[in-house]
A = this chain, B = another copy of it.
Amino acid sequence: MTDFARTRALFELPEGIVYLDGNSLGPLPRAARERVAREVSREWGEKLIRGWNEAGWMDLPETVGDKIARLIGAAKGTVVAGDSTSINLHKALTAAVSLAGPRKVVLSDSGNFPTDLYVAQMALRALGGGHELKVVAPEEVAGTIDDTVAVLMLTQVDYKTGRLHDMQALTAKARENGVVSIWDLAHSAGALPVDLAGADADFAVGCGYKYLNGGPGAPAFIYVRPGLGDRIDPVLAGWMGHEAPFAFDLDYRPAGGIQRMRVGTPPILSMASLDAALDAWDGVSMDDVRDRSIELSERFIAEIEARCPELTLASPRDPSARGSQVSVAFREGYAAMQAAIANGLIGDFRAPDIMRFGFTPLYIGMDDVVRAAETIERVMRDKLWDRADYRARAKVT
């Protein structure tokens, strides 16, 4: 049984705050603070250029990738960390299209994170191969997969509602129809059990700064199915993905397997932070995380439905159809969330009216859930959302 009191002690959480926004930016693990300080002062400051050999910087994208692999049902050597989720999705999509042969349809859904659709829109236009991005409603995806589809590109958990796709079933249907599959695990990795190998997915990408707690803008990751990597001609090429980076040959020869998904020099300070943050998962069972996440979010729903009739549940009511977040709709959601934050409960807001709360058992317990519900109740009862200063919008909402 995972000891969540132990994992909670690994994080530095500000006093007096209930943090239900770890689905947007995970909090600071003590180990990450210490590691970054060491990386700066000792590795960079004292070793200088020798850090590339002596501090393990050169292999860090694979080291971090292997730690993430364990959390998403991927074999060692199939995941590499680096770049942003958007850049990694571009790598995956351009590779998938080239592997998919003459078919022209890239299938996605309107519950995908908009960036993923932007990546696809512009990548497909640039490739000039006449590919079409077909965006259907989430519930129509399964019925739309057929042998005209080249690539299935989905985010497993809807960033707004928390609606969870059945990765196993959809990937199986893609496989049966000869469709190359890409999964964005931004709200899955570290949130719930993922079994990429078991699902036989072709590609996956995901984020280092949400449930993995790597710090603001931490490097993202990319997974390529074993055996598939060697068949990819990377569209984004760079020396770190070359077979022999320090031979400085004038011709690109991609490294074997997942390593060719590397491009340029990785941001070591951010990568080291993620590396240290991932150690919080040692001894943690993703099944336990899932069970606990459901307990927490079920209680949260029960509490706010009992206390706040103004709010409408915007997430699936069935926990097995939901990721590790709960969203509620409220017409003054932006101001209400500002009021909640001012009163010690941090969640976030997504336009037009969604208040979003993430449940992260590594550092959030049942006491936090009850305190959160009490705060939301106060915001609603006292109409705190009606105050002018909470209504004034900031750049990032």
Contact = CB atoms under 8 A, between A and B. Distances in A.
B264 A53 contact: no
B126 A83 contact: no
B50 A346 contact: yes
Given A115-B239, A119-B238, A252-B117, A52 B396 contact: yes
Given A114-B249, A248-B351, A351-B246, A216 B84 contact: no
A75 interface: no
Given A14-B46, A252-B117, A265 B217 contact: yes
B49 A346 contact: yes
Contacts of A216: 43-44, 51-52, 57, 265, 267-269
Given A48-B346, A350-B248, A395-B58, A237 B269 contact: no
Contact of A84 (B83, B127, B135): B83
Nearest to A25: B49
A275 interface: no
A273 interface: yes
A25 B201 CA distance: 39
A41 interface: yes
Given A123-B235, A126-B127, A215 B84 contact: no
A119 B396 contact: no
Considering residues A17, A41, A249, A267, which has the most beta carbons from chain B within 10 angstroms of its beta carbon?
A267
Nearest to A341: B50
Contacts of A346: 48-50
A45 B250 CA distance: 44
Contacts of A247: 351
Contacts of A37: 36-37, 40
A170 interface: no
Complex copy number for this chain = 2
B269 A215 contact: yes
Nearest to A160: B248
A21 interface: yes
Given A40-B215, A41-B33, A250-B110, A86 B239 contact: yes
Contacts of A24: 49
Contacts of A252: 117-118, 121-122
A209 interface: yes
A242 interface: yes
Contact of A45 (B28, B84, B242): B28
A125 interface: yes
A160 B248 CA distance: 10
Interface in A153-188: 160
A297 to B, nearest CB: 19
Interface string A259-276: 000011111111101000
Given A94-B126, A216-B44, A217-B57, A267 B264 contact: no
Given A27-B45, A53-B394, A209-B265, A115 B238 contact: yes
Given A25-B52, A85-B265, A248-B351, 15 more contacts: A24-B49, A25-B48, A27-B48, A33-B41, A36-B36, A36-B269, A52-B395, A83-B83, A115-B238, A121-B237, A122-B234, A123-B237, A125-B233, A126-B126, A127-B128
30 contacts: A14-B48, A28-B41, A32-B40, A33-B40, A36-B269, A37-B40, A48-B346, A51-B216, A52-B396, A53-B394, A53-B395, A57-B217, A58-B395, A84-B263, A86-B263, A87-B263, A90-B236, A115-B238, A118-B238, A118-B252, A121-B237, A121-B252, A122-B234, A122-B236, A123-B237, A217-B269, A219-B267, A246-B395, A248-B350, A269-B273
